[in-house]
């Protein structure tokens, strides 16, 4: 298995809004396969296309790396509703190595998405899967979990983010 390589904080693609997928052909299937391999090699529980340099609304999630049945590929995912109840859980991101922090998010969500063939699905989830999906959809909108940290935590990680940005920046 091969990693496509992960774009790091400071790379502009992580800050741009990804485009809707309109063609459901072999190319999309191949992208999903490669993203899934990359997520496994990099030991992530989720990965969004811009993290591998592709500005398309595609994400893969892998909430239980020991159990391949939990692998899920989401094309054009959209949150339909979320719970008023929130929780605050520590997150990390392959694109922001070395930094973790607590992020407040709704506990439960209802998400509409398409599969690699264009078929429409709806998933309701709470807990870890819900959190990963929200984190990945943020990526598709150019948002990173560090944007959602508390003011105090943001201040603490500012220097490290600046160092990352210097390395992540592409000419």
C-beta of 24 vs 79, nearer to Zn ion? 79
Instruction: Please provide residue 78's backbone torsions phi and psi, each rounded to the nearest 5 degrees.
Output: -145, 130
Contact 30/122 with Cβ under 8 angstroms?
no
Q: How far is the CB of 50 from Zn ion (least distance, A)?
A: 10
Min CB(149)–Zn ion separation in Å? 13
- Identify whether 136 is a catalytic site residue: yes
Residue 129 makes contact with Zn ion by CB under 5 A: no
Q: Which residues in the chain belong to E strands, given as ranges?
A: 46-48, 58-61, 72-82, 86-91, 101-106, 108-114, 120-126
Out of 58, 59, 73, 93, point to the residue binding Zn ion (CB under 5 A): 93
Closest approach of Cβ 120 to Zn ion, in Å?
Answer: 25
Tell which residue, 79, 135, 137, 81, has the closest CA to residue 112: 79
Catalytic residue among 42, 104, 112, 136: 136
Q: Which of 118/157 has CB closer to Zn ion?
A: 157
Strand partners, 73: 60
CA distances from 27 to 31, 58, 70, 99, 100 (A): 6, 12, 23, 33, 34
Q: Which is nearer to Zn ion, 88 or 122 (CB)?
A: 88
Nearer to Zn ion, 27 or 147 (CB): 147
CB 29 within 8 A of CB 39: no
The stretch among 26-34, 53-61, 69-77, 91-99 that binds Zn ion (CB under 5 A) is 91-99
Q: How far is the CB of 75 from Zn ion (least distance, A)?
A: 18
* Residues facing residue 81 across a β-bridge: 110
User: Cβ-closest residue to Zn ion?
Assistant: 93
Active site residues per annotation:
136
Can you give the binding site for Zn ion, defined by CB under 5 A? Answer: 93
């Amino acid at each position: 298995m091969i990693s496509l390589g992960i774009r790091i904080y400071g790379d502009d693609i992580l800050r741009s809004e990804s485009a809707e997928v309109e063609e459901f052909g072999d190319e999309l299937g191949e992208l999903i396969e490669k993203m899934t391999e990359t997520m496994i090699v990099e030991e992530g529980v989720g990965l969004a296309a811009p993290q591998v340099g592709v500005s398309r609304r595609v994400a893969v999630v892998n909430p239980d790396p020991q159990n391949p049945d939990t692998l899920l590929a989401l094309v054009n995912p959209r949150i339909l509703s979320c719970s008023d109840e929130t929780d605050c859980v520590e997150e990390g991101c392959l694109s922001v190595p070395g930094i973790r922090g607590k992020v407040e998010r709704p506990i439960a969500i209802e998400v509409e998405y398409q599969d690699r063939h264009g078929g429409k699905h709806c998933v309701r989830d709470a807990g870890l899967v819900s959190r990963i999906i929200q984190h990945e959809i943020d990526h598709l909108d150019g948002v990173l979990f560090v944007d959602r940290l508390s003011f105090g935590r943001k201040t603490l990680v500012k220097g490290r983010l600046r160092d990352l940005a210097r390395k992540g920046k592409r000419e």
